[in-house]
Structure 1
Amino acid sequence: MSAYRRKTISIIERFTELFSKLEDRNEEDQKQKISEMKGIIDEMNKEEFKSVITKELFDKICRIFEEKKLPAENMILLLKHVGCVNVLKNVWVHGFEESSLKEKIKKMMIDESEKDEGKREKLLADLCECYLMLNIGNSSELYPICVPCLLKVALKKEENEETQNEAEMALLALCCICSLSEMEPKLFLNETKDIIKYHQEHHNLTRLAYQSAWEFLICRLWSQKSLEDAIIDELHFCREAERELKELMKCVDWKRKEEIEKGKETKEEIHLVGWLRTLKIYLEYSGLHGKEQVDLINLVIQIFQESNADQIEIRTWCMSIFRGAAGCRAVKIKDLLESGAADVILEEI
C-alpha cells in the first residue's frame, strides 16, 4: 500500500481491507497480512478498537477457520494480539462472548486437555490465553485446564527473550480471571509463590509479567483471606509495589501531550496503571491499614500530583484508590486535600 493511500483511508478501513483478504491467501501470505493487522491494531485508540473487534469479526474468523482457509497457528497469532491489546488498554470488548468462535475455542481446549497421548502443550496454552483475554465472563469450569497449563508456562526458568515473552503472555491471561471467582489454593498458590520468589531473586520476568503475577494472586484474596500472610509477610507485596511504582514514576513522561488526545497510552503508563489497579484490589480485599499501606497511598498521592489532566487512566485509578482509602480512614483527609485529589473527587461526584 502506497504512503499516499495509507494517509487517505481510515485506520478502520485499512484493517477491514486486510482482514477481507485473509481467506484468499496462502499460509505465509496470511502471516504477513496478520503482522500488518497487528501493527494497525497498535495504532488504534479504544473507540477504533471497539468498532472493529466485534462479534461479527469473531464469527468470520470462526467461519474461515472451520472452512480450513485459516490455519490454527495464524488464527492464534491474530487472536492473542487482539486479546493482549484488549487487556492492556483496558477496553474489554464483548463480541467474543457472544460469538461462535468462543464455543469453538472452548471445545478445542477441552479436546486437547483430554488427550492421553500427543497432547500439544503449546497449542493448549495458546488457546487458554486467547480464551481468558477475550472472554470477560470466563467460565470457571475451564480454570482447572487454564490455570495449571499457564502457570507451567510461567514457571520456565530459561533466560531468553522467547521464554520471557511466553511467561508474560501466560501471566497476563491469568490475571484476567475474575476476582470474584473461587479457586482452591492447591490449583495456584505454590506455583504463583514460586514465580514471584524466583523473580525477586533472579529478575527473570518482564515488568508486565511480574505485575500480572501479583494481580492474579491478589485477586484470589476475595475468597481466600488466608492468603494475606503469604502476600504480606512472605512475598512482601507492599515493599515490591512501592519499588515498582517509584521506578515507573521515573520512566513516565509526565509532560507529554502528543497522542494523549487520541487516547493512546505509552507502555510505561500502561504498566503504571496495572500496578495502581493491583494496589486498588489489594487495599479493597485485604482491609489492612498499617504503615506500609499508608506509605503506598501517599505514593499514589505523589503520582496524582505528577500526572496531568490528559493522563485520564492514571488519574482515574488514583482517585479510585483515594475514595477507598478515605472511606476506611487509611489515609488522612488533609493529605488528600493538600494533594488536590479531594477537589477532583468532588468534581466527579
Structure 2
Amino acid sequence: MEQFTEAEQKQKIEEMNEIVDGMNEEEFEVVFNEEFSLLGGRFEQMIIEEEKKNEENEESLLVDLCECYLSLHYYSSEIGEIISIIVPCLLKAASVKEENEEAQKEVEMALLALSNINECIEVKQELYLKEITEIIKHQQKHRNLTHLAYQSAWLFFIYRFFKDRNLEDTIANELHFGREAARELEELTRNVNWKKKKEEMSKEEAKEELTLVRWLQTLNSYIYKNKLRNEENVELINSIVQIYRAAKGNNEEISFKCIYSLRTAAKWGVVKVVDLLNGGAVDTVLEGMQLPTLDDNVMRNCLYFFMNVSKRLKKKTDDELEEAKRKELNRKFFEKLEEEGYEDTIASFHEKFEFLHGIYSLGTLLKISEYFVNV
C-alpha cells in the first residue's frame, strides 16, 4: 500500500473491513492462508509507523489498522510492543459517548476487535483497567451499547483474568459480572426466534444469536477461573438453565454450550451443589440425556456434570451441621437420579470414567449415547 496516500490507505482499509465482514470462515482462510504472515507483519509495521507520527487527525487510520490486525489473529515476537499501541488506541475509540448510529458502530468495532486478544496474551493493567472499567460502568448506567459491544467488552476483560487473578474482586463484586451477564442472557433469550433456521434469520436476528453464543463462551471462561461464590453466580446458572430450555430441540450449538457451562460450574464450584439442584441445573442435564437426538459429546458432558456433583457431595466435613446438610443433599441428589432411572447407570460409570475419557481422547467410536438412550 506504499504507493497510496494516507487518505487512500484509509479508504482501502475501510474497503477491506467491509470485504472481511462479508466473508465466511472458509473464504477468509482461503484468501489469507498463503500470505498470512506477510500481511500480519506488514500491519505491525504500519501500526508502529502510524503511532510514531502521533497525528490527531489521523487517529481513525490507526484505529482501522489495529482492527484489521486483530482480525487476522496473527501474533509475532513483536506482540508486546504492538499490544501496547493497540489496546490504548482501541479503548479510546470505544470510550466515545456519542449515541448516533455511526459512533455506536465504531465503538462496537473497536470492542469486537479487542475481544480477539485472547487469554494467552498478557496485557499490563495500566493499559486497560481504568478505561475498560469506565466503559462497563457507563453501560450499566446508560445502556447505550449494543449487546455485541457490551459482550465484547466483557470478553476482553475476562480474558485478562486468565493472567491476572487480582482482577477477581473487580470483575465479580465491583462490576457485578454475574448479575450483568444474567440480565444480558435473559434479554437475548427473549429476542432470539428459536423456531427460525439460520438461513431464514434477518441480519439483526443472526447477530443476536451470535451474541448469545459469545456470551456462553465468556461464561465458560469466567466460571473456569472464578473462585468467588456469591448470589449473582446463582442467577447466572439459572439463566443458563432457561437458555437451555428455550434452545432445546431448536439450536444444538447453544444447547451443547449450556450443558458444557453447567458441567464446568459443577466442577469448579462457583455455586453450591444445593443451588445446582434447586435452580434446575440437575433437571436440565437429565433432560439433555433424554433427547432423541443425543450425541456422544453431549452425553459425555452430562456424565461429567454428574461425576463432578457426586465428587463434591462425597467430601465429608468436620462440622456436624454441615455434614448433616451434605448427607441430606446427597440423598436428594440420588433420589432425583433414581426417579429418572439413571442412579445405577451413572454409578456404574463412576470408577471407569477416566478410562472412558481416554477412549474419547483417542477418538475411538464408542457409541455411549446410543446405550443411554436405550437404557
Q: TM-score, normalised by structure 2?
A: 0.67
* Aligned residues of 1:86 and 1:133 also touching (Cα < 8 A): no
More divergent stretch after superposition (213-222 vs 65-74): 65-74
The alpha carbon displacement at 1:166 in A equals 0.7
The 1:136/1:102 distance shift into structure 2, 3 A limit, reads: closer
Determine whether 1:291 maps to 2:227: no
What's the CA shift string for 1:73-92, capped at 9, x where partnerless?
A: 343123323555679x8998
Structure 1 segment 173-184 matched on structure 2, within 5 A: 173-184=113-124
Determine whether 1:229 maps to 2:177: no
Q: Which residue, out of 53, 75, 81, partners 2:18?
A: 81
* Aligned residues of 2:14 and 2:64 also touching (Cα < 8 A): no
Q: Distance in 1 between matches of 2:290 and 2:232?
A: 22
The alpha carbon displacement at 1:205 in A equals 1.4
Q: Distance in 2 between matches of 1:188 and 1:280?
A: 22
Structure 1 segment 1-349 matched on structure 2, within 5 A: 65=1, 68=4, 71-84=8-21, 93=29, 95=32, 98-117=36-55, 120-137=58-75, 139-257=79-197, 259=199, 266-309=206-249, 311-329=251-269, 330=271, 331-332=276-277, 334-340=282-288, 344=294, 345-346=298-299
The alpha carbon displacement at 1:336 in A equals 4.0
Q: Rg larger in 1 or in 2?
A: 2
Q: Distance in 2 between matches of 1:269 and 1:91?
A: 22
The 1:146/1:90 distance shift into structure 2, 3 A limit, reads: farther
Q: Distance in 2 between matches of 1:319 and 1:86?
A: 30
Q: Distance in 2 between matches of 1:309 and 1:82?
A: 34
Amino acid at match of 2:299: L
Q: Distance in 2 between matches of 1:338 and 1:135?
A: 38
The alpha carbon displacement at 1:295 in A equals 2.8
State the number of aligned residues: 282
- Which secondary structure state, in structure 2, belongs to the residue aligned with residue 114 of structure 1? helix
Q: Distance in 2 between matches of 1:106 and 1:113?
A: 11
More divergent stretch after superposition (316-325 vs 237-246): 316-325
Amino acid at match of 1:106: E
Q: Distance in 2 between matches of 1:117 and 1:300?
A: 47
* Aligned residues of 2:71 and 2:116 also touching (Cα < 8 A): yes
Q: Distance in 1 between matches of 2:158 and 2:27?
A: 21
* Aligned residues of 1:248 and 1:268 also touching (Cα < 8 A): yes
The 1:326/1:341 distance shift into structure 2, 3 A limit, reads: farther
The 1:135/1:92 distance shift into structure 2, 3 A limit, reads: farther
The alpha carbon displacement at 1:199 in A equals 1.3
Aligned twin of 2:308: none
The 1:301/1:260 distance shift into structure 2, 3 A limit, reads: farther
What's the CA shift string for 1:165-211, capped at 9, x where partnerless?
A: 11100000001001122221111000001111111112221221111
Q: Which runs of 5+ in 2 are unaligned?
A: 302-359, 361-375
Aligned twin of 2:321: none
The 1:90/1:152 distance shift into structure 2, 3 A limit, reads: farther
More divergent stretch after superposition (293-302 vs 305-314): 305-314
The alpha carbon displacement at 1:157 in A equals 1.3
Q: Distance in 1 between matches of 2:104 and 2:67?
A: 15
CA-based RMSD of the aligned residues comes to: 3.2
More divergent stretch after superposition (165-174 vs 91-100): 91-100
- Identify which of structures 1 and 2 has the higher relative contact order when contacts are C-alpha pairs closer than 8 Å and 6+ apart: 1
Q: Which runs of 5+ in 1 are unaligned?
A: 1-64
What's the CA shift string for 1:278-314, capped at 9, x where partnerless?
A: 1111111213344322331232122112114562432
More divergent stretch after superposition (196-205 vs 168-177): 196-205
* Aligned residues of 2:223 and 2:268 also touching (Cα < 8 A): no
Q: Distance in 1 between matches of 2:131 and 2:255?
A: 34
What's the CA shift string for 1:233-287, capped at 9, x where partnerless?
A: 21111111111111111111111136279xx981211111121111111111213
The alpha carbon displacement at 1:100 in A equals 2.3
Give aligned-pair identity as a percent: 41
More divergent stretch after superposition (91-100 vs 299-308): 91-100
The alpha carbon displacement at 1:145 in A equals 0.5
* Aligned residues of 1:252 and 1:269 also touching (Cα < 8 A): yes
Amino acid at match of 1:273: V
* Aligned residues of 1:92 and 1:136 also touching (Cα < 8 A): no
* Aligned residues of 2:112 and 2:152 also touching (Cα < 8 A): yes
More divergent stretch after superposition (249-258 vs 164-173): 249-258
Q: Distance in 1 between matches of 2:26 and 2:215?
A: 13
Aligned twin of 1:58: none
The alpha carbon displacement at 1:323 in A equals 2.5
* Aligned residues of 2:70 and 2:113 also touching (Cα < 8 A): yes
The 1:206/1:339 distance shift into structure 2, 3 A limit, reads: same
* Aligned residues of 2:161 and 2:225 also touching (Cα < 8 A): yes
